Amino acid sequence: MQNESLTDWKILPLTDEDIDAVLAIEEDSFPKPWSRNIFTKELMNPVSYSLAGWLTRDTDDQLAAYIFFWIVHGEAHILNLTVRRDFRSMGLSKRILGFSLNFMREKGVEDIFLEVRRSNEAAIALYESFGFRVFYERKKYYVDEDALVMGLTLSQWNG
């Protein structure tokens, strides 16, 4: 998969029609995945934004990544960023995160926060590559693990 071209990569708002594909990715990616109900509520939440990264393979558009985040009073909170297992290590997480940070900047966001599993070294490295830093550890944030709370001030990001 790593040799696949990203020329046919596009990012679009996520819709109700995408939920089945999102659920399949979520259930394959996490021991405690979000439910259909959570995704549906996020799509209806007025402060929630959701974007889907699509990759064209042959003639078929496939949902390869998604991100959910809130924007409230100049702050953003990244809730979920996931890449489909067979599309990982292709740089898709960097693309959708970079697109999202630019979107947030256009919406007047200054500060961004997120929680990430302490053991998720790939995600931590991704966020650090964008300038996020660890603020503190949140004990037992996940049922089975602690979280690192990370943040970024957008004015310090050069994207």
In a domain, 33, yes or no: yes
In a domain, 101, yes or no: yes
Q: Which of 26, 42, 49, 127 is catalytic?
A: 127
In a domain, 67, yes or no: yes
CA distances from residue 79 to 3, 9, 30, 57, 59 in whole angstroms, order as listed: 29, 22, 14, 28, 31
CATH of the domain at 53: 3.40.630.30
As for how many domains the chain has, the answer is 1
Establish whether 127 is a catalytic residue: yes
Containing domain of residue 144, as a range? Answer: 9-156
Mean of the per-residue pLDDT values of the chain: 91
Establish whether 66 is a catalytic residue: no
Q: What is the pTM (predicted TM-score) of this model?
A: 0.90
Q: What is the pLDDT of residues 94-142, one digit of tens each?
A: 999 999 999 999 999 999 999 999 999 999 999 999 999 999 999 988 8
For residues 21-47, one letter each, b for 16 or more C-beta atoms within 10 angstroms of the residue's C-beta and e for the rest, the string is bbeebbeeeeeebbeeeebeebbeeee
In a domain, 140, yes or no: yes
Asked whether residue 76 carries a pLDDT value surpassing 50, the answer given is yes
Q: Which of 4, 110, 115, 145 is catalytic?
A: 115
